Amino acid sequence: MILFRKADDLTDFLLKQRNNGLRTGFVPTMGALHQGHISLIRQARESNDLVICSVFINPTQFNDPSDFEKYPVTIENDVDLLQAAGCDILFFPSVDEMYPPGLPVKTYDLGFLETILEGKFRPGHFQGVCRVIDRFLTLIHPDNFYLGQKDYQQCLVVRRLITILGLEQQVSLVITPTLRDPDGLAMSSRNTRLSPDQREQAVNIFRALSSIAAGMNQFPPELLISDAVARLESEGFRVDYVEIASANDLQPYQTTLPEEPLVALAAAFLGDVRLIDNMLLPPRS
Ligand code: AMP
Q: pTM here?
A: 0.98
What mean pLDDT is reported for the chain?
A: 98
Reported as a single tens digit per residue, the pLDDT across 7-26 is: 999 999 999 999 999 999 99
pLDDT of 10: 98
Which residues on neighbouring strands pair with residue 54, listed in sequence order?
28, 91
- 38 CA from centroid of ligand 1 (Å): 9
- 50 CA from centroid of ligand 1 (Å): 20
User: How far is 230 from 9, CA to CA, in rounded Å?
Assistant: 52
Reported as a single tens digit per residue, the pLDDT across 64-107 is: 999 999 999 999 999 999 999 999 999 999 999 999 999 999 99
pLDDT of 248: 98
Closest CA to 262 of 279, 245, 285: 245
Sheet with 262-270: strands ordered across: 238-246, 262-270, 273-280
How many residues are present in the chain?
285
Closest CA to 263 of 110, 155, 123, 136: 155
Contact 33, 74 (CB under 8 A): yes
Residue 237 confidence class, pLDDT cut points 50, 70, 90: very high
Residue from 150, 174, 187, 188 to probe ligand 1 pocket by mutation (most atoms less than 8 Å from CB): 150
Reported as a single tens digit per residue, the pLDDT across 259-281 is: 999 999 999 999 999 999 999 99
Please compute the mean of the pLDDT values over residues 191-216 and round it to a whole number.
Answer: 98
Mind spelling out the 3-state secondary structure of 195-218? CHHHHHHHCHHHHHHHHHHHHCCC
Residue from 145, 151, 188, 205 to probe ligand 1 pocket by mutation (most atoms less than 8 Å from CB): 151
pLDDT of residue 246 exceeding 90, the answer is yes
The single residue of 34, 37, 125, 141 carrying the catalytic annotation is 37
Closest CA to 161 of 122, 135, 123: 135
Please compute the mean of the pLDDT values over residues 180-209 and round it to a whole number.
Answer: 98
User: How far is 154 from 156, CA to CA, in rounded Å?
Assistant: 5
- Tell me if 186 CB under 6 Å of ligand 1: yes
pLDDT of 285: 86
- Tell me if 188 CB under 6 Å of ligand 1: yes
Contact 283, 257 (CB under 8 A): no
- 36 CA from centroid of ligand 1 (Å): 6
Please compute the mean of the pLDDT values over residues 234-241 and round it to a whole number.
Answer: 98
Residue 130 confidence class, pLDDT cut points 50, 70, 90: very high
CB atoms within 10 A of CB 230: 13
- Tell me if 256 CB under 6 Å of ligand 1: no
Q: Verify whether residue 141 is a known catalytic residue.
A: no
pLDDT of residue 42 exceeding 90, the answer is yes
pLDDT of 177: 98
Contact 8, 136 (CB under 8 A): no
